[in-house]
């Protein structure tokens, strides 16, 4: 609870609060020692990078237009509903979504050496994932899960769900 509260809460409870909750089953020192053990076992890896985190980074590196941002984010949000995309690393999905958004806007040439260096992917590396994302988007057009499509059909998102992918 101590680690979780430190990670999630703006104002985490104090050590003495946890000791009191345990009916003094352990001391503050015991709690801190166990926290250290847990952190060391986890090698301080408390979170994993998500597709969205990678996408935000890649969009920033590219200096992407708002339209490209909306298209890429739409593609990423559509993948959240699809089991088939889990075989790809989050960084691969993010890079592939951005590549598809660039293709749809005829800006594929924007994937230059800088993007390759920052993403560590060439267009050829992304081919399989891009194809899977295209399949996901096409399947979504006839799916009963339409919330993401409806969200991105609005002018607020520049009608991103109408993106034409090949």
CB 12 within 8 A of CB 5: yes
Task: Please give the full DSSP string across 81-138, using - where no structure is assigned.
Answer: T-GGGGGS-HHHHHHHHHHHHHHHTT-GGG--HHHHHHH---TGGGHHHHHHHHHHHH
Measure the CA angle with vertex 89, ends 85 and 93; round to 5°. 60
* pLDDT tens sequence across 77-90: 999 888 999 999 99
CA distance 166 to 139: 13
Residue 150 — pLDDT band, cuts 50, 70, 90? confident
Tokens read off for 129: 């994932």
The set of residues, in sequence order, having a beta carbon less than 8 Å from that of 105 and lying 6+ positions away, is: 65, 67, 68, 71
The pLDDT value recorded for residue 127 is 96
Cα–Cα distance measured from residue 11 to residue 1, given in angstroms and rounded to the nearest whole number: 13
pLDDT surpasses 80 at 149: no
The model's pLDDT over 32-58, given as tens digits with 9 standing for 90+, comes to 999 999 999 999 988 888 999 999 999
| 34 alpha-carbon distance from chain centroid | 31
**Residue ranges of domains in the chain, CATH in brackets:** 2-41 (no CATH), 51-162 (1.10.472.10)
How far does CA 138 lie from the centroid of its chain? Answer: 21
CB 42, CB 35: distance < 8 Å: no
């Amino acid at each position: 609870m101590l680690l979780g509260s430190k990670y999630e809460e703006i104002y985490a409870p104090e050590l003495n609060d946890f000791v009191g909750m345990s009916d003094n089953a352990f001391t503050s020192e015991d709690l801190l020692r166990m926290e250290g053990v847990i952190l060391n076992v986890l090698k301080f890896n408390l979170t994993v990078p998500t597709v969205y985190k990678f996408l935000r980074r890649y969009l920033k590196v590219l200096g992407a237009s708002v339209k490209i941002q909306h298209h890429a984010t739409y593609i990423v949000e559509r993948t959240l509903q699809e089991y088939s995309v889990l075989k790809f690393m989050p960084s691969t999905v993010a890079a592939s979504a951005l590549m598809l958004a660039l293709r749809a806007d005829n800006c594929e040439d924007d994937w230059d050496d800088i993007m390759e260096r920052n993403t560590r992917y060439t267009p050829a590396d992304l081919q399989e994932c891009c194809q899977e994302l295209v399949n996901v988007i096409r399947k979504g057009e006839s799916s009963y899960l339409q919330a993401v499509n409806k969200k991105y059909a609005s002018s607020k998102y520049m009608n991103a769900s109408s993106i034409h992918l090949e």
